[in-house]
Amino acid sequence: MTVAGGDTMRAAVIREHGGPEKVRVEQMPRPSVEAPDDVIVRVRACTLNRLDIFARQGISGPGVRAVHLPHISGVDVAGEVTEVGMGVERWRSGHRVVLYPGLSCGHCGACARGEDTMCRHYRIFGEDTHGGLAEYCRIGAGNLESLPDDVPFEQAAALPTAYTTAWRMVVTVGNLRPQERVLVLGAGGGVGVAAVQIARRLGAYVFGVTSGSDRAQRLEEVGVGRVIDRLTEDFESVVMNETGGSGVDVVVNPVGGATWRPAIRSLAMGGRMLICGATIGDDPDLSIREIYQSHRQILGAPLGNRQDFRSVLDMLSRGEIKPAIHATMPLEAVAEAHRLIEEGKSFGKVVLLP
Ligand SMILES: [Zn+2]
Protein backbone atom coordinates (compact mmCIF):
# COMPACT_ATOMS: atom_id res chain seq x y z
CA MET A 1 0.00 0.00 0.00
CA THR A 2 2.88 2.36 -0.72
CA VAL A 3 1.87 5.75 -2.01
CA ALA A 4 4.19 7.51 -4.42
CA GLY A 5 5.29 11.06 -3.83
CA GLY A 6 6.85 10.74 -0.39
CA ASP A 7 4.06 12.55 1.45
CA THR A 8 3.00 9.53 3.48
CA MET A 9 4.80 7.46 6.07
CA ARG A 10 4.45 4.25 8.05
CA ALA A 11 2.95 4.82 11.48
CA ALA A 12 1.48 2.77 14.34
CA VAL A 13 -2.11 4.01 14.39
CA ILE A 14 -4.85 3.56 16.98
CA ARG A 15 -8.21 3.98 15.22
CA GLU A 16 -10.37 2.54 18.00
CA HIS A 17 -9.78 1.61 21.63
CA GLY A 18 -9.28 -1.97 22.72
CA GLY A 19 -6.67 -4.71 22.94
CA PRO A 20 -3.15 -4.76 21.46
CA GLU A 21 -4.57 -5.77 18.07
CA LYS A 22 -6.07 -2.26 17.80
CA VAL A 23 -2.72 -0.66 17.12
CA ARG A 24 -1.76 -1.25 13.49
CA VAL A 25 0.95 -0.07 11.17
CA GLU A 26 -0.44 1.76 8.16
CA GLN A 27 0.25 4.68 5.86
CA MET A 28 -0.47 8.11 7.32
CA PRO A 29 0.17 11.63 6.05
CA ARG A 30 3.74 12.64 6.70
CA PRO A 31 3.95 15.68 9.01
CA SER A 32 5.27 18.92 7.53
CA VAL A 33 6.51 22.19 8.98
CA GLU A 34 3.55 24.39 9.90
CA ALA A 35 4.76 26.92 12.51
CA PRO A 36 8.07 28.84 12.18
CA ASP A 37 9.64 26.91 15.07
CA ASP A 38 8.53 23.45 13.91
CA VAL A 39 11.08 20.72 13.34
CA ILE A 40 10.49 17.43 11.51
CA VAL A 41 12.42 14.51 12.95
CA ARG A 42 13.10 11.18 11.23
CA VAL A 43 12.40 8.81 14.13
CA ARG A 44 15.21 6.29 14.65
CA ALA A 45 14.02 4.84 17.97
CA CYS A 46 10.90 5.22 20.10
CA THR A 47 10.33 3.43 23.40
CA LEU A 48 6.98 2.45 24.89
CA ASN A 49 5.47 3.58 28.19
CA ARG A 50 2.27 2.97 30.10
CA LEU A 51 0.87 6.06 28.35
CA ASP A 52 0.90 4.16 25.04
CA ILE A 53 -1.16 1.40 26.67
CA PHE A 54 -3.61 3.91 28.20
CA ALA A 55 -4.00 5.66 24.84
CA ARG A 56 -4.85 2.37 23.16
CA GLN A 57 -7.20 1.24 25.91
CA GLY A 58 -8.96 4.60 26.02
CA ILE A 59 -8.19 5.04 29.70
CA SER A 60 -8.31 8.60 31.01
CA GLY A 61 -8.49 10.15 34.44
CA PRO A 62 -6.34 12.30 36.71
CA GLY A 63 -3.03 12.76 34.89
CA VAL A 64 -4.05 10.74 31.87
CA ARG A 65 -5.95 12.56 29.16
CA ALA A 66 -8.18 10.97 26.56
CA VAL A 67 -6.57 10.91 23.12
CA HIS A 68 -8.26 11.97 19.89
CA LEU A 69 -8.60 9.12 17.41
CA PRO A 70 -7.01 8.23 15.11
CA HIS A 71 -3.91 8.61 17.28
CA ILE A 72 -0.21 7.95 16.85
CA SER A 73 1.29 7.48 20.32
CA GLY A 74 4.97 7.41 21.28
CA VAL A 75 6.41 9.83 23.85
CA ASP A 76 10.10 8.89 23.89
CA VAL A 77 11.88 9.65 20.64
CA ALA A 78 15.42 9.91 19.31
CA GLY A 79 16.24 10.58 15.68
CA GLU A 80 17.59 12.98 13.09
CA VAL A 81 16.34 16.40 12.03
CA THR A 82 15.15 16.41 8.42
CA GLU A 83 13.41 19.76 8.05
CA VAL A 84 13.12 22.99 10.08
CA GLY A 85 10.79 26.00 10.08
CA MET A 86 11.89 29.48 9.07
CA GLY A 87 12.39 30.60 12.65
CA VAL A 88 14.70 27.73 13.63
CA GLU A 89 18.39 28.67 13.82
CA ARG A 90 20.02 26.07 16.03
CA TRP A 91 18.99 22.89 14.20
CA ARG A 92 19.78 21.70 10.70
CA SER A 93 18.99 18.61 8.67
CA GLY A 94 21.09 15.68 9.85
CA HIS A 95 21.47 16.78 13.49
CA ARG A 96 21.10 13.88 15.91
CA VAL A 97 18.54 14.70 18.61
CA VAL A 98 16.49 13.34 21.48
CA LEU A 99 13.10 14.88 22.28
CA TYR A 100 11.94 16.26 25.62
CA PRO A 101 8.24 15.36 25.55
CA GLY A 102 6.84 18.07 27.87
CA LEU A 103 4.89 20.82 26.08
CA SER A 104 4.40 23.93 28.24
CA CYS A 105 3.43 27.57 27.66
CA GLY A 106 6.94 28.90 28.24
CA HIS A 107 5.94 32.17 29.95
CA CYS A 108 3.91 31.47 33.12
CA GLY A 109 5.43 31.57 36.61
CA ALA A 110 6.06 27.82 36.71
CA CYS A 111 7.73 27.86 33.28
CA ALA A 112 9.86 30.86 34.34
CA ARG A 113 11.12 28.85 37.33
CA GLY A 114 12.00 25.95 35.06
CA GLU A 115 9.18 23.85 36.49
CA ASP A 116 7.57 23.23 33.12
CA THR A 117 5.73 20.13 34.35
CA MET A 118 3.84 22.42 36.78
CA CYS A 119 2.64 24.67 33.94
CA ARG A 120 -1.16 24.88 33.86
CA HIS A 121 -1.01 24.38 30.12
CA TYR A 122 1.30 21.38 30.38
CA ARG A 123 0.74 18.73 27.74
CA ILE A 124 2.70 15.72 26.58
CA PHE A 125 4.02 15.01 23.10
CA GLY A 126 2.62 11.66 21.97
CA GLU A 127 -0.40 11.96 24.26
CA ASP A 128 -1.91 15.34 23.37
CA THR A 129 -0.27 15.38 19.93
CA HIS A 130 0.75 12.70 17.46
CA GLY A 131 3.94 11.08 18.74
CA GLY A 132 6.91 9.10 17.59
CA LEU A 133 5.66 5.63 16.66
CA ALA A 134 6.05 6.59 13.03
CA GLU A 135 8.78 7.28 10.50
CA TYR A 136 8.51 11.03 11.10
CA CYS A 137 7.18 13.36 13.78
CA ARG A 138 6.77 17.11 14.25
CA ILE A 139 7.74 19.00 17.42
CA GLY A 140 8.78 22.54 18.42
CA ALA A 141 12.51 23.28 18.17
CA GLY A 142 12.61 24.13 21.88
CA ASN A 143 11.96 20.48 22.75
CA LEU A 144 15.13 19.13 21.14
CA GLU A 145 18.38 18.25 22.85
CA SER A 146 21.55 17.43 20.95
CA LEU A 147 22.66 13.81 20.97
CA PRO A 148 26.39 13.01 20.80
CA ASP A 149 27.48 10.79 17.89
CA ASP A 150 28.56 7.94 20.17
CA VAL A 151 25.22 7.62 22.00
CA PRO A 152 22.96 5.07 20.26
CA PHE A 153 19.42 6.22 19.39
CA GLU A 154 17.90 3.25 21.30
CA GLN A 155 19.58 4.28 24.53
CA ALA A 156 18.66 7.94 24.17
CA ALA A 157 15.02 7.01 23.51
CA ALA A 158 14.97 5.17 26.85
CA LEU A 159 15.55 8.40 28.78
CA PRO A 160 12.75 10.94 28.36
CA THR A 161 10.02 9.36 30.47
CA ALA A 162 11.52 6.60 32.62
CA TYR A 163 14.95 8.00 33.47
CA THR A 164 13.82 11.62 33.74
CA THR A 165 11.00 10.63 36.09
CA ALA A 166 13.32 8.43 38.15
CA TRP A 167 15.86 11.28 38.43
CA ARG A 168 13.10 13.67 39.49
CA MET A 169 12.03 11.29 42.25
CA VAL A 170 15.33 9.98 43.50
CA VAL A 171 17.48 13.13 43.20
CA THR A 172 15.44 16.33 42.80
CA VAL A 173 12.49 15.50 45.06
CA GLY A 174 13.84 12.58 47.09
CA ASN A 175 17.28 14.06 47.80
CA LEU A 176 18.74 10.56 48.18
CA ARG A 177 22.09 10.46 49.99
CA PRO A 178 24.87 7.90 49.51
CA GLN A 179 24.57 6.15 52.87
CA GLU A 180 20.81 5.68 52.62
CA ARG A 181 18.82 2.52 52.01
CA VAL A 182 16.18 2.44 49.26
CA LEU A 183 13.34 0.07 48.47
CA VAL A 184 12.30 0.14 44.78
CA LEU A 185 8.92 -1.40 43.96
CA GLY A 186 8.22 -2.53 40.39
CA ALA A 187 12.00 -2.65 40.08
CA GLY A 188 11.94 -4.48 36.73
CA GLY A 189 9.78 -1.83 35.00
CA GLY A 190 11.02 1.18 33.06
CA VAL A 191 11.00 3.68 35.94
CA GLY A 192 11.96 0.98 38.45
CA VAL A 193 15.20 -0.05 36.71
CA ALA A 194 16.06 3.60 36.14
CA ALA A 195 15.56 4.36 39.86
CA VAL A 196 17.76 1.39 40.79
CA GLN A 197 20.55 2.52 38.48
CA ILE A 198 20.42 6.15 39.65
CA ALA A 199 20.30 5.15 43.33
CA ARG A 200 23.31 2.85 42.85
CA ARG A 201 25.14 5.59 40.99
CA LEU A 202 24.64 7.79 44.07
CA GLY A 203 25.99 5.01 46.28
CA ALA A 204 22.82 3.97 48.10
CA TYR A 205 21.97 0.36 49.08
CA VAL A 206 18.97 -0.92 47.11
CA PHE A 207 16.24 -3.46 47.86
CA GLY A 208 14.36 -4.28 44.64
CA VAL A 209 10.95 -5.94 44.41
CA THR A 210 10.11 -7.91 41.29
CA SER A 211 8.83 -11.33 40.22
CA GLY A 212 10.57 -14.21 38.47
CA SER A 213 14.15 -15.44 38.49
CA ASP A 214 15.14 -13.84 35.15
CA ARG A 215 14.41 -10.36 36.36
CA ALA A 216 15.88 -11.11 39.77
CA GLN A 217 19.16 -11.95 38.12
CA ARG A 218 19.10 -8.86 35.94
CA LEU A 219 18.40 -6.69 38.97
CA GLU A 220 21.45 -8.12 40.69
CA GLU A 221 23.46 -7.24 37.59
CA VAL A 222 22.42 -3.57 37.83
CA GLY A 223 23.36 -3.43 41.50
CA VAL A 224 20.36 -4.37 43.63
CA GLY A 225 21.74 -5.62 46.95
CA ARG A 226 18.70 -7.66 47.89
CA VAL A 227 16.13 -8.79 45.33
CA ILE A 228 12.71 -9.57 46.81
CA ASP A 229 10.44 -11.86 44.78
CA ARG A 230 6.95 -10.58 45.46
CA LEU A 231 5.43 -13.96 44.56
CA THR A 232 7.22 -15.78 47.37
CA GLU A 233 8.29 -13.07 49.82
CA ASP A 234 6.63 -10.25 51.74
CA PHE A 235 8.70 -7.12 51.11
CA GLU A 236 7.80 -5.42 54.39
CA SER A 237 9.02 -8.43 56.41
CA VAL A 238 12.23 -8.73 54.39
CA VAL A 239 13.02 -5.03 54.75
CA MET A 240 12.31 -5.04 58.48
CA ASN A 241 14.37 -8.19 59.06
CA GLU A 242 17.33 -6.99 57.08
CA THR A 243 17.43 -3.47 58.49
CA GLY A 244 17.26 -4.66 62.08
CA GLY A 245 13.72 -3.36 62.41
CA SER A 246 14.51 0.24 61.45
CA GLY A 247 13.21 0.29 57.87
CA VAL A 248 14.48 2.01 54.71
CA ASP A 249 15.05 5.74 54.25
CA VAL A 250 13.34 5.91 50.86
CA VAL A 251 10.72 3.90 48.98
CA VAL A 252 10.36 4.46 45.24
CA ASN A 253 6.81 3.46 44.38
CA PRO A 254 5.63 3.70 40.76
CA VAL A 255 3.10 0.92 41.40
CA GLY A 256 0.51 2.24 43.88
CA GLY A 257 -2.55 0.26 44.96
CA ALA A 258 -2.16 -2.36 47.67
CA THR A 259 1.59 -1.74 47.96
CA TRP A 260 1.06 1.59 49.71
CA ARG A 261 0.41 0.46 53.26
CA PRO A 262 3.27 -2.05 53.54
CA ALA A 263 5.51 0.42 51.70
CA ILE A 264 4.78 3.16 54.23
CA ARG A 265 5.35 0.70 57.08
CA SER A 266 8.71 -0.23 55.52
CA LEU A 267 9.91 3.35 55.96
CA ALA A 268 12.23 4.35 58.76
CA MET A 269 11.44 7.26 61.07
CA GLY A 270 11.48 10.36 58.83
CA GLY A 271 11.56 8.24 55.68
CA ARG A 272 10.03 9.36 52.40
CA MET A 273 7.98 7.51 49.84
CA LEU A 274 8.40 8.81 46.29
CA ILE A 275 5.48 8.22 43.96
CA CYS A 276 4.97 8.64 40.21
CA GLY A 277 2.35 6.09 39.26
CA ALA A 278 -0.60 3.96 40.21
CA THR A 279 -0.37 1.11 37.72
CA ILE A 280 -2.10 -1.41 40.02
CA GLY A 281 -4.52 0.95 41.76
CA ASP A 282 -5.30 4.60 42.53
CA ASP A 283 -7.23 4.19 45.78
CA PRO A 284 -4.95 2.65 48.42
CA ASP A 285 -5.65 1.61 51.97
CA LEU A 286 -3.58 3.72 54.34
CA SER A 287 -3.30 4.87 57.90
CA ILE A 288 -2.79 8.60 58.43
CA ARG A 289 -1.19 7.97 61.83
CA GLU A 290 1.34 5.57 60.31
CA ILE A 291 2.54 8.52 58.25
CA TYR A 292 2.75 11.52 60.59
CA GLN A 293 3.51 9.68 63.82
CA SER A 294 6.79 8.53 62.27
CA HIS A 295 7.57 11.83 60.50
CA ARG A 296 7.15 10.10 57.18
CA GLN A 297 6.63 11.99 53.93
CA ILE A 298 4.97 11.16 50.62
CA LEU A 299 6.32 13.11 47.64
CA GLY A 300 5.06 12.86 44.09
CA ALA A 301 5.96 13.87 40.56
CA PRO A 302 4.35 12.88 37.25
CA LEU A 303 7.50 13.39 35.14
CA GLY A 304 10.80 15.20 35.43
CA ASN A 305 11.29 18.75 34.14
CA ARG A 306 13.72 19.91 31.47
CA GLN A 307 16.63 20.17 33.91
CA ASP A 308 15.98 16.63 35.19
CA PHE A 309 16.02 15.46 31.57
CA ARG A 310 19.32 17.23 30.89
CA SER A 311 20.81 15.62 33.99
CA VAL A 312 20.08 12.09 32.80
CA LEU A 313 21.16 12.94 29.26
CA ASP A 314 24.49 14.23 30.62
CA MET A 315 24.89 11.03 32.63
CA LEU A 316 24.23 8.91 29.52
CA SER A 317 26.56 11.04 27.38
CA ARG A 318 29.37 10.61 29.91
CA GLY A 319 28.82 6.84 29.92
CA GLU A 320 27.82 6.79 33.58
CA ILE A 321 24.62 4.89 32.96
CA LYS A 322 23.49 2.34 30.41
CA PRO A 323 19.71 2.19 30.09
CA ALA A 324 18.22 -1.28 30.48
CA ILE A 325 16.62 -2.37 27.21
CA HIS A 326 14.41 -5.45 27.20
CA ALA A 327 13.84 -5.74 23.47
CA THR A 328 14.40 -3.85 20.24
CA MET A 329 11.78 -4.51 17.57
CA PRO A 330 10.67 -3.20 14.17
CA LEU A 331 7.63 -0.89 14.15
CA GLU A 332 5.58 -3.74 12.65
CA ALA A 333 5.87 -5.58 16.01
CA VAL A 334 4.12 -2.76 17.87
CA ALA A 335 1.19 -4.93 19.05
CA GLU A 336 3.61 -7.47 20.51
CA ALA A 337 5.51 -4.64 22.19
CA HIS A 338 2.25 -3.41 23.76
CA ARG A 339 1.65 -6.92 25.13
CA LEU A 340 5.12 -7.04 26.67
CA ILE A 341 4.55 -3.79 28.56
CA GLU A 342 1.01 -4.69 29.53
CA GLU A 343 1.91 -8.10 30.93
CA GLY A 344 4.60 -6.48 33.05
CA LYS A 345 7.13 -9.13 32.07
CA SER A 346 9.74 -6.90 30.49
CA PHE A 347 12.93 -5.75 32.14
CA GLY A 348 13.59 -2.13 31.30
CA LYS A 349 12.48 -0.49 28.09
CA VAL A 350 10.94 -1.88 24.92
CA VAL A 351 12.28 -0.05 21.83
CA LEU A 352 10.64 0.20 18.45
CA LEU A 353 12.58 1.12 15.31
CA PRO A 354 10.32 2.80 12.76
ZN1 LIG B 1 3.74 27.67 31.58
- Ligand 1 centroid to 35 CA: how many Å? 19
pLDDT tens per residue, range 286-304: 999 999 999 999 999 889 9
pLDDT tens per residue, range 229-275: 999 999 999 999 999 999 999 999 999 999 999 999 999 999 999 99
pLDDT tens per residue, range 130-139: 999 999 999 9
* 2: pLDDT strictly greater than 50: no
Determine which of 130-139, 155-164, 230-239, 344-353 has the lowest per-residue pLDDT on average.
Answer: 344-353
Confidence of residue 279 (pLDDT cuts 50, 70, 90): confident
Confidence of residue 82 (pLDDT cuts 50, 70, 90): very high
What is the structure's pLDDT at 61?
73
- Ligand 1 centroid to 105 CA: how many Å? 4
Q: Which of 233, 244, 240 lies closest to 211, judged by CA?
A: 233
What is the structure's pLDDT at 60?
79
- Ligand 1 centroid to 103 CA: how many Å? 9
What is the structure's pLDDT at 12?
98
Confidence of residue 6 (pLDDT cuts 50, 70, 90): low
What is the structure's pLDDT at 30?
97
- Ligand 1 centroid to 44 CA: how many Å? 30
**How far apart, in whole angstroms, are the C-alpha atoms of residue 157 and residue 44?**
9
- Ligand 1 centroid to 119 CA: how many Å? 4
- Ligand 1 centroid to 106 CA: how many Å? 5
Q: Is the dihedral of CA 249, 255, 256, 262 positive or negative?
A: negative
pTM, to two decimals: 0.94
- Ligand 1 centroid to 116 CA: how many Å? 6
* 3: pLDDT strictly greater than 50: no
Q: Rg for the chain (alpha carbons), in Å? A: 20
- Ligand 1 centroid to 112 CA: how many Å? 7
- Ligand 1 centroid to 143 CA: how many Å? 14
Determine which of 55-59, 108-112, 150-154 has the lowest per-residue pLDDT on average.
Answer: 55-59
CB 81 within 8 A of CB 66: no
Q: How far is CA 17 from the centre of its chain?
A: 22
Question: Which positions ≥6 away from 340 have C-beta within 8 Å?
Answer: 326, 327, 346, 350
- Ligand 1 centroid to 302 CA: how many Å? 16
For the chain, the average pLDDT equals 95
> Dihedrals φ, ψ of 81, to 5°?
-65, 135
- Ligand 1 centroid to 87 CA: how many Å? 21
Q: State mean pLDDT over 45-64.
A: 89
* 5: pLDDT strictly greater than 70: no
Confidence of residue 106 (pLDDT cuts 50, 70, 90): very high
At residue 137, the 3 state secondary structure works out as: strand
Q: State mean pLDDT over 180-188.
A: 97
Percent of the chain residues topping a pLDDT of 70: 98
> Dihedrals φ, ψ of 201, to 5°?
-60, -35
